[in-house]
Amino acid sequence: MANLKEIRNRITSVSSTMQITSAMKMVSAAKLKKAQDAITAMRPYADKLTELLQSLSATLDEDSGSKFSTQREVKKVLIVAITSNRGLCGAFNSNIIKEVNRLTKLTYANQNVSYIAIGKKANDAFKKTNKVIANESRVFDDLTFDNVAEIAQMLMDKFVAGEFDKIDIVYNKFKNAATQIVTTEQFLPIVPVEGSASNNSDYIFEPSKVEIVEQLIPKSLKTQLYKGVRDSFASEHGARMTAMHKATDNATELRNQLKLTYNKARQAAITNEILEIVGGAEALNN
């Protein structure tokens, strides 16, 4: 009977776990809908704005080019790693950490690399290197454009001041609830699109092209970073919903197996008791 009690306790424990994972799945599903609508709505605008500014930057003379397009010898690199503040979302965070480590060890092996963490998981992973210059995990407490814009402005200021020669952002791009694509984007300097100069030759700019670019580039960069954070936010809930769905299925399967084992053990115990009673009755008769 001790064995039966142990199995009953395991069934109770697994059932509790299943209820928790099922509840987390439903919460993430509800949050995912809102996050998915937000990134789906802003992605075309952000992509078109980035494409427009890259095209305009390509038409500027080198002397009149934007300070954000300045190409310098890459010696100091800043990687902005966007993860989540919480776990229980499968490989969502570990994929970003692996990609950042790959960039550090391979792509920028000969450069001095520093990090900015957007998300507690990124900060926890890289703080041991003593190269995390800022932890911006608070942004997920109130995810608004203005809060992300402050981070983007800090990145722009550091690039213009010459503290870093190149800035990349690494995040999970949202495709659907089950698929997140690890994406690395060059944030600064802005890379003009080759061959786009002729495409803009028929436009008349008022005020001058240089003034337009100088005013729009900060807005474009802020929008680019906000899009990356929004993508990551939607991806997080998609990954957590998928992970909790699988966890619930596994818990259900384990509970069913335990119930089957319990019933078999219970039947065996009852059979043994019946055999003992029958054996005792026969002994008395004899």
Show which residues are catalytic.
Answer: 89
14's CB contacts (< 8 A; 6+ apart) are 251, 254, 255, 258
Pairing outcome for strands 166-176 and 179-188: antiparallel
CA distance 88 to 119: 14
CA distance 241 to 27: 8
Nearest to 92 by CA among 79, 101, 83, 81: 83
CA distance 165 to 97: 22
132 DSSP β-pair partners: 115
Specify whether the CB–CB gap between 242 and 178 falls below 8 A: yes
Which tokens is 40 given? 């789906």
Q: What is the three-class DSSP state of 58?
A: helix
CA distance 238 to 255: 26
- CA-to-CA dists, residue 181 to 14, 184, 226, 267, angstroms: 32, 10, 17, 51
Counting Cα atoms < 13 Å in the Cβ hemisphere of 54 gives 19
Specify whether the CB–CB gap between 85 and 139 falls below 8 A: no
